[in-house]
Amino acid sequence: MKVLFAVNNEDISESIIKLYQKEYKEIISGKNVYYFNAIIKELQRDQTYDRIVISEDLEPYTSNNFDMIDKFLFEQLDKISDEAIGDSGTDIPIIFIATDRRSKSDNLLSKLFSIGIYDALLGSDRSPQEVCKLINKPRTKKEAKTYYKIETEDVNYQIESEDNVSETEIQNIITHYKKLGKNTDRYVESFNNIAAQYTDNQLRIISKFLPINVRAVLEVESPKYQSIMTFGEGTYKAKEKEKEEKQEDLKIGFIETKMAKTGPTKPVVIPSTVGTSSAKKLTKKVQEEKDEEEQKETSNDKGSLDDMFEVEEKDDNEKNVVQKVEFLEEEQEEQEEIEAKEESEVVAEVTPEEPVKRKRGRPRKIVDPDAEPKQPKKRGRPRKVVEPEEGLEAQGPVLPGFEEVSKDNVEPISLFDLADGVEELEEKYMEDTTNSQNQKENIDLSSLLTKDKKIVAFVGSPKTGTSFLINNLADMLSKTGINTAIVDLTESRNSYYIYTKNEEPLRRIASNCMEKLENGMVEGIDVSKNLTVFTSIPNQKIEINDIDGLIANLVKRFSLVLLDCDFKTSERYFELAGEIYLVQSMDILSIQPLTAFLRDLQSNNKLVPSKLKAVINKNMKVRGLTTKAIIGGMSCYNNPEMSYMRELFDKDKIGVITIPFDEDALSKYLSGMVDCIVSTSSYTKQFLAELKKLGDYVYPLVTNKIKPDYTKRNIFARKNNDDAV
């Protein structure tokens, strides 16, 4: 007998195996998996199982909505039942161990009955003995009907949510593509990741809501998108084609209406004052085109579709010509007015016998008749002479230097030329800025990260003890001679209160040390000989434009850089970190925010599973909750509606460290906070031993031991998981 166990505690499966072998004298070979997706993968890999045992509480749930939990459970069990087919083609019986909230006639049981799951255990029947009975002899359909207390005719099985996608999921997908912006090269990759989580029918629904620029790229470059939209009903292309045809019909109707008119609505008139050859050429060309078009209309009633478009275009050309002619006319009249006024000014200055009386606030200019007439100064465009009303003071003199510009040397600048110049300057500025940013981003940290240099990030939900671990690690490692830096990148910045010690000089250092660090001045709070802290004023946003440069400056100075992060820390820090420690406590309600953060990193292609390590902090014995169960919960993201799940990392491969809950150590740490002191010297030996294990992993050179072999991460994870059961 070969059984696949999906329960959250190996002790349960081991007790069932031992009891079955004792009662039925038959050997059982079993395998344990710890989340629903793993069941499906295992059944796809191996079809030789005879029974499947699934516990309802296999995975921790982040929602208290029972309806959503039931919906999620049924969808998972429905998928599993589809894969539960043995080598012989017969269904593999599924034994479902329900939680204590289930009772007979439960709505979920009716649904399980409809998909052929007849071996659920409820209430007091949830025991190893009853599981063994069902392993030996599964129920028949009739027996299940009696046990579940349901009527077959009331069972109306429909696959739920096969073609439905929640609004929240669609909004998340749209938001993801908005974050990608103009990174079109990532559109296809993201769509392939989405396609792995949905059916083709669901993808068609999702595709309808994608931004049009995303769909345009996918239509050309994504084979998966082309496949589902080409062979599905009501495809996007078909609808777009139908829409274009309707628009084409409207356009043709509009052109036919225009063709019914015999010619332009008004004649093109060229004023007699326009003496420019360009205007004559334009009007002559329009008239020739008009005559030619009239001949075409006489010989051919409507002409081809191309001719129709030409008619509409030529109407627009006629309007443009009229506008150009009117513009030239205005320019000509204005130029004539200017020349006339210039001539009048020359006459006024050369003929003193008949001075022109001007009502101005300054004396009339007296000109010597024997003197040589002075030539007037020409400007690019003469100032308009306005006769002020009597009693009003005239406009003051022109500012020095402006009247010296010669009209002959000045070319008129149009608004279009000016706009082009501004645009060119903006483009040059953006290009210089981009080049500058690229230079900053291209800092090669690999050359700085020698074997004795390390960047490590710690992140976790609030109250899980992330800062507690970092502060104690820094104190312990710095005392061993390792030059250590703490960089507080959290929004609350608890290190500001701890390490400034309520002293004004230290507060001044903290207030601007991050900005200085970006500019190459490594001036943090010196806590001890080998420990420096970089922080800032709490809840105040720090604008760091060159994160790579900031980290490079730290690496040059320190051997170990500990990044204290939260879920709002810039993703770039996690890209630069060599390892990311996920801090989690026994409080399962804090798992969901952590997995949501990891999901966002994964969606932006910035999550590297090989960097991840889990720290179970404040570990203690909790009934029904093991370290393995917590790691399983951390490894997958469940959206709040429980409508889909995404795997973030392989829970069987991640390195795991457990830090026990030590009331004495916590009490001494909190007591030290009163005096702004962090010290590990007063902790118990047992707690220090566990903390040193974490220290050996964070900075392997802390002791004289051989550096841990990270290629054996699986063995390490297995060992810690076994210890926690």
Same domain? For 567 and 636 the reply is yes
Could you tell me which residues are beta bridge partners of residue 646? 637
Indicate whether 438 pLDDT > 90: no
Q: Per the domain annotation, does 410 fall within a domain?
A: no
Backbone angles phi, psi at 450, to 5 degrees: -75, 180
Do 321 and 268 contact (CB within 8 A), yes or no?
A: yes
Q: So what's the pLDDT on residue 339? A: 63
Do 615 and 694 contact (CB within 8 A), yes or no?
A: yes
Mean pLDDT (the chain, rounded): 75
Same domain? For 148 and 177 the reply is no
Cα separation, 612 vs 457, in Å, equals 10
Residue-wise pLDDT for 74-114, tens only, equals 999 999 999 999 887 889 999 999 988 888 878 888 889 98
Same domain? For 101 and 55 the reply is yes
Cα separation, 697 vs 634, in Å, equals 20
The predicted model gives 395-400 an average pLDDT of 43
Q: Per the domain annotation, does 79 fall within a domain?
A: yes
CATH code: domain of residue 545:
3.40.50.300
Cα separation, 412 vs 207, in Å, equals 53
What percentage of the chain has pLDDT greater than the value 90?
Answer: 27
Final residue before a domain boundary, out of 192, 220, 238: 238
Cα separation, 414 vs 418, in Å, equals 6
Question: Does 412 or 61 have the greater pLDDT score?
Answer: 61
Q: So what's the pLDDT on residue 563? A: 95
Highest mean pLDDT among 201-205, 292-296, 315-319 belongs to 201-205
> Which of the four pLDDT bands, split at 50, 70 and 90, describes residue 16?
very high
Indicate whether 584 pLDDT > 80: yes
Residue-wise pLDDT for 17-39, tens only, equals 999 999 998 888 889 988 888 89
Indicate whether 234 pLDDT > 50: no
Q: Per the domain annotation, does 401 fall within a domain?
A: no
Q: Per the domain annotation, does 314 fall within a domain?
A: no
Cα separation, 548 vs 258, in Å, equals 63
Distance of CA 709 to the CA centre of its chain: 34
Same domain? For 473 and 607 the reply is yes
Amino acid in the structure at residue 122: L
Indicate whether 295 pLDDT > 50: yes
Backbone angles phi, psi at 542, to 5 degrees: -105, 125
By three-state DSSP, how is residue 231 classified?
Answer: helix
Residue-wise pLDDT for 322-342, tens only, equals 565 566 566 666 666 666 665
564 exposed, middle or buried (CB, 10 Å; 0-12, 13-18, 19+)? buried
Same domain? For 147 and 179 the reply is no
Final residue before a domain boundary, out of 103, 123, 154: 154
Q: Which residue has the tokens 């790691």?
A: 631
Same domain? For 116 and 184 the reply is no
Q: So what's the pLDDT on residue 180? A: 86
Backbone angles phi, psi at 617, to 5 degrees: -90, 155
Cα separation, 651 vs 629, in Å, equals 10
Same domain? For 10 and 135 the reply is yes
Same domain? For 108 and 214 the reply is no
Q: Per the domain annotation, does 648 fall within a domain?
A: yes
- As a whole number of Å, the end-to-end CA separation of the chain is 26
Q: So what's the pLDDT on residue 426? A: 53
Final residue before a domain boundary, out of 216, 238, 260: 238
Domain that residue 198 falls in: 173-238
Q: Which residue has the tokens 């029974």?
A: 51
Consecutive H or E run containing 721: helix 713-724
Residue-wise pLDDT for 696-712, tens only, equals 889 885 444 434 443 33
Q: SS3 breakdown of the chain: % helix, strand, coil, rounded to 5?
A: 50, 10, 35
Cα separation, 574 vs 421, in Å, equals 42
Indicate whether 172 pLDDT > 70: yes
Q: So what's the pLDDT on residue 522? A: 92
Alpha helices in 57-181 (DSSP H): 66-83, 107-114, 128-136, 141-148, 167-180
Consecutive H or E run containing 658: strand 655-660
355 CB-near residues (< 8 Å, 6+ apart): 348, 364
Same domain? For 96 and 189 the reply is no
Same domain? For 586 and 713 the reply is yes
Question: Does 719 or 6 have the greater pLDDT score?
Answer: 6
- The dihedral formed by the CA atoms of 674, 675, 680 and 682, expressed in degrees to the nearest 10: -80
Q: How many Å is the maximal CA-CA distance in the chain?
A: 141
> Which of the four pLDDT bands, split at 50, 70 and 90, describes residue 672?
confident
Cα separation, 493 vs 397, in Å, equals 63
Cα separation, 617 vs 586, in Å, equals 8
CATH code: domain of residue 32:
3.40.50.2300
Rg of the chain taking only CA atoms, in angstroms: 41
Residue 27 CB: number of other CB atoms within 10 A? 10
Q: Per the domain annotation, does 336 fall within a domain?
A: no
The predicted model gives 625-645 an average pLDDT of 82
Q: So what's the pLDDT on residue 327? A: 60
Q: Per the domain annotation, does 604 fall within a domain?
A: yes
Q: Per the domain annotation, does 478 fall within a domain?
A: yes
Residue-wise pLDDT for 339-355, tens only, equals 666 555 545 544 444 44
> Which of the four pLDDT bands, split at 50, 70 and 90, describes residue 716?
very low
> Which of the four pLDDT bands, split at 50, 70 and 90, describes residue 186?
confident
Q: So what's the pLDDT on residue 674? A: 81
175 CB-near residues (< 8 Å, 6+ apart): none
Same domain? For 86 and 196 the reply is no
Indicate whether 218 pLDDT > 50: yes
Same domain? For 222 and 114 the reply is no
Q: How many domains is the chain built from?
A: 3
Q: So what's the pLDDT on residue 388? A: 47
